Amino acid sequence: MSASKSNGSSDKAPALEQQEERCEGEIGGDNSMTRLRKDPNLDHRSDCYEDVKSDYHPALFSALERFLPSQLLDAPRDVKLQYLNKVVSRYVPRGDRNRVQCQREYKERIFNDYQSFIDAVKENTEESFKRILSEPSPGVYTFDMFQQGFCELLINEVENFERWVDATKLTVVRPNTMNKYGVVLDDLGFENMLDQLMINFIKPLASVLFPDVGGSTLDTHHGFVVEYSKDRDRDLGFHVDDSEVTLNVCLGKIFTGGDLFFRGVRCDTHVNVDAHTEEFFEYTHVPGQAVLHAGRHRHGANEILSGHRMNLILWCRSAVFRELKKHQHDFYSWCGECLNQKKERRQQLIDARYQEFFHT
Mean pLDDT of 258-279: 92
Most confident of the ranges 33-37, 160-164, 295-299, 334-338: 295-299
Instruction: Quote the CA–CA distance of 229 and 254 in Å, as a whole number.
Output: 10
Beta bridge partners of 236: 301
Mean pLDDT computed over every residue of the chain: 84
Q: How far is CA 246 from the centre of its chain?
A: 15
The pLDDT score that the predictor gives to residue 12 is: 47
Most confident of the ranges 1-5, 113-117, 188-192, 294-298: 294-298
Q: Is the pTM of this model over 0.75?
A: no
Query: If pLDDT is split at 50, 70 and 90, which confidence band does 359 have?
Result: low
Examine residue 253 and say whether the peptide bond preceding it is cis (omega within 30 degrees of 0): yes
Query: If pLDDT is split at 50, 70 and 90, which confidence band does 97 have?
Result: low
Instruction: Quote the CA–CA distance of 253 and 343 in Å, as a whole number.
Output: 45
The pLDDT score that the predictor gives to residue 95 is: 60
Identity (one letter) of the amino acid at 272? N
Range of lowest pLDDT (37-51, 97-111, 335-349): 97-111
- Asked if 146 and 249 count as a contact pair (C-beta separation under 8 A), the reply is yes
- Asked if 223 and 202 count as a contact pair (C-beta separation under 8 A), the reply is no
Q: Tell me, which fold does domain 128-331 have in CATH? A: Jelly Rolls (2.60.120)
- Asked if 289 and 145 count as a contact pair (C-beta separation under 8 A), the reply is yes
- Asked if 337 and 270 count as a contact pair (C-beta separation under 8 A), the reply is yes
| Digit-coded pLDDT (tens) for 313-336 | 999 999 999 999 988 888 888 998
The pLDDT score that the predictor gives to residue 7 is: 43
Domain residue spans of the chain: 12-90, 128-331
Instruction: Quote the CA–CA distance of 33 and 344 in Å, as a whole number.
Output: 88
Query: If pLDDT is split at 50, 70 and 90, which confidence band does 16 have?
Result: very low
What length does the chain have?
A: 360
Q: Give the phi and the psi of residue 29 in degrees, each rounded to 5.
A: -75, -170
Cβ-defined contacts of 183-191 (< 8 Å, 24+): 183/158, 183/224, 183/225, 184/222, 184/223, 184/224, 185/223, 185/224, 185/225, 185/312, 186/222, 186/223, 186/224, 188/157, 188/158, 188/161, 190/223, 191/223
> Is the per-residue pLDDT at 91 higher than 80?
no
> Is the per-residue pLDDT at 28 higher than 70?
no
The pLDDT score that the predictor gives to residue 267 is: 92
